[in-house]
Amino acid sequence: MKNEATVIEGTKAVPKLGPFPTKLRGEELWEIVDMWEFSPGNKEKIKAILEADANIQGPHLFRYYNPKPSRVAAAEQAMAELVGVKHCLAVNSCTSALVAAFRALGIGAGDEVIVPAYTFFATAATVVAANAVPVIVEVDDSLNLDPEAAERAITPRTKAIAAVHMRGAPAQMDALLDLAKRKGVPLVEDVAQAGGGSFQGRRLGSLGTIGCFSFDFYKVIVSGEGGFVTTDDEWLYTRAQSWHDTAACWRPDRFARERREGELFAGENYRMSELEGAVALAQIRKTDAILAGYRRAKKLVKEGIARSPRVHFRRLTDEQGDTAICLILFLPDADVTRRAIEAMHAEGVPAGGVYDSKVRDWHIYTYWEHILDQKSVAKDCLPWSALPASDLPRYSRDMCPRTLDLLGRSIHIEINPGYSADDCSAIALGINRVIHRLVP
């Protein structure tokens, strides 16, 4: 045996290590494959291949330091091209995208952000997570932020307006962009529910200062969980990127000192995994085909609905840009709406209510008691403690009566791109029967 201390000229103690098997092998791939459905017999064939192949080497599922081209980076590029922006950052959710956007804009304690009274709670919750105060504002008959109400809500503390494109359809972007410009306030687009949609020929997420997307499984284009931040502003992108990665900062040089005041700060970890990146990439490429399916089905259902003077469709600010994931009807009052939904269910129509004062729902501001009651996660009582009580918004459950009236009279018809022409006419027939009976 060699004496441990003997040095032999020209040789290394450790001449070579590895190669080692990668951390992920066939077993991990099988768990993924097993989630999919195949034609009979095919899954078994794949399993046999995975079990027999001793050379399976799994991927590096971390986007950085990846020896192969990153799927997350490819998804960012594809998303930037789809949306039509210069910069795109992948994150692990739209909630993360919103916090990163607010933080990139420098929003913090003592600031206010305008949010619509009808949106998923995340839009308002992320304002609080950024230590700012959400100012809750009425929606109009597009069921998106009412620009006039937003204008009335602006104060010297307003640091952003969050325009949410709810249930697939664009907000009044012309009026909101004009307002944002006149007041010098950034417009944050929450595109969580309208991925791929557009307004006057421009994709949502490219019109405002910064756009935030969700790829969670219930959205238009999906990766299970996931999100994207889109912007033309390089500085905002850099700051969002820092925030999303603990400010460990994969800038041009990860360990470089600050290139400009405001580049380095302590952030969080919102990184997207390569698994989500791969699924997102495939979905982004298919966006227009997915939208075409929704739009075909919605057109057929809508064309089949007999017009009635007492029933109105939700106002679309740009019908071409609607992602068409649903069709919303307004009936004359909440009581007939409730009865019509029940009757539509009896007809087999995939109809649902949007607001019922007896049913809790995180999309309606009246249930955001965390905000209405000014809850805080810590004893610093932020964000509320950052402003004198007289400057805090006066929250109450009846502060947005128009929103509650519109939502209480809304019937939401689910659209599925898989509906056949017969499905669409059957749905329209069911709706017509109920309207004929209850709202003649």
Ligand X SMILES: Cc1ncc(COP(=O)(O)O)c(C=O)c1O
The two three-digit tokens of residue 400, written as one number:
């947005």
Considering just the CA atoms, what is the radius of gyration of the chain in Å? 26
Could you please report the per-residue DSSP string of 260-292? STTS-----B-PPPHHHHHHHHHHHHTHHHHHH
Could you tell me the CA-to-CA distances from 141 to 62, 84, 134, 170, 324 in Å, in that order?
44, 28, 22, 12, 16
Q: Residue 325 or residue 340: which is nearer to ligand X going by CB?
A: 325
Nearest residue (CB) to ligand X, 123 versus 172: 123
Residue 47 designated active-site: no
Q: How far is CA 247 from CA 64, 92, 262, in A?
A: 14, 16, 11
Q: Which amino acid is at 339?
A: R
- Least gap, CB of 99 to ligand X (angstroms): 10
For the bound state, the minimum distance from the C-beta of residue 244 to ligand X, rounded and expressed in Å, comes to 13
- Rounded to a whole number of angstroms, the minimum distance from the CB of residue 337 to ligand X is 22
Choice between 179 and 192, CB closer to ligand X: 192
DSSP class of residue 386 equals G
Of 217, 136, 165, 437, the C-alpha closest to 310 is 437
In 241-398, the DSSP E strands lie at 312-313, 326-330, 351-353
Q: Which residue has the tokens 């003077």?
A: 309
Pairing of strands 351-353, 410-414: antiparallel
Active-site hit among 219, 302, 358, 379: 219
Q: Taking the complex as a whole, how short is the minimal distance between the CB of residue 123 and ligand X, in angstroms?
A: 5
Smallest separation (angstroms) from ligand X to the CB of 318:
18
Nearest distance from residue 341's CB to ligand X, in Å? Answer: 21
Tell me which H or E stretch contains 315.
none
Site residues (CB under 6 A) for ligand X?
93-95, 119-120, 122-123, 164, 190, 192-193, 214, 216, 227
Give the amino acid at 152.
R
Question: Considering beta carbons, is residue 280 or 300 the nearer one to ligand X?
Answer: 280
Contacts of 347 by beta carbon, 8 Å cutoff, 6+ apart: 429, 430, 431, 433, 434
189 beta partners: 163, 211
At residue 161's C-alpha, the angle toward residues 190 and 123, to 5°, is 40
CB of 177 to ligand X, least distance (A): 19
CB of 152 to ligand X, least distance (A): 23
Q: Which is nearer to ligand X, 94 or 221 (CB)?
A: 94
Element (H, E) at 231: strand 227-231
Nearer to ligand X (CB atom), residue 158 or residue 193 = 193
Please list, residue by residue across 246-256, b when 16 or more beta carbons sit within 10 angstroms of its beta carbon and e when fewer do: ebebebeeeee
b/e map of 216-234 (b: 16 or more CB within 10 Å)? beebbbbbebbbbbbbebe
CB closer to ligand X out of 103 and 302: 103
Tokens of 401: 């009566």
| Identity of the residue, 12 or 360, whose beta carbon is nearer to ligand X in the bound complex | 360
Pairing of strands 187-190, 210-214: parallel
In this structure, the number of other CB atoms found within 10 A of the CB of residue 215 comes to 31
Q: What is the dihedral of CA 364, 366, 370, 372, to 10 degrees?
A: 130
Residue from 36, 57, 70 nearest 273 by CA? 70
**Residues involved in catalysis:** 219
